[in-house]
Amino acid sequence: MNSDIDEQIIIERDCEATLIPFGNKITLKKGEEAHITQALGGSYTLMIHGNLVRVESKDADAIGKIPEVQPWLEEKENDGRIDEKAVWDAMKTCYDPEIPINIVDLGLIYSCEISNEDGGGSSVEIKMTLTAPGCGMGDMIATEVKQKIEGIQGTSDVSVELVWDPPWDRSMITESARLQLGML
């Protein structure tokens, strides 16, 4: 998927979107014009009526796109427990809709604890932060992380907690992400 594009589109059917950075739900109407400004992790950031909005993968057809394949959801032979790599791969498909770097490389994931359960399956506990405490998209990003991990084979329970200690700062961004952002 492209990280930074400028493609003009026409909304093909009414669909739900999330207003950035506030997190409010709005409805995009069929026939409205918009520009796709970012397409990452299966979601799309659009500029419409002077506002940025996020459209989820499930509504990709409403903007003339095909939902992205999610390889971490593929069935694999295992003992009923979760594959940790699949958890990290899933989180790497989650993006702040205003920043073209995944939340793992941004340094927003503070911990990922996987506990194998006696009856099979695994519970996953994620502690993460945001680039700013007042970010209105925080609940949406945390929910996206939870939903993507819940879809992984072997997952029995997922909790995602937003934490503020230590406070996030730019030093937490990976070197490759800093290079991509032009910070090196």
Q: Which domains does the chain have, with CATH numbers?
A: 7-63 (2.30.30), 72-180 (3.30.300.130)
18 vs 79, higher pLDDT? 18
CA distance 110 to 101: 16
Q: Is the pLDDT of residue 119 over 90?
A: no
Q: Is the pLDDT of residue 12 over 70?
A: yes
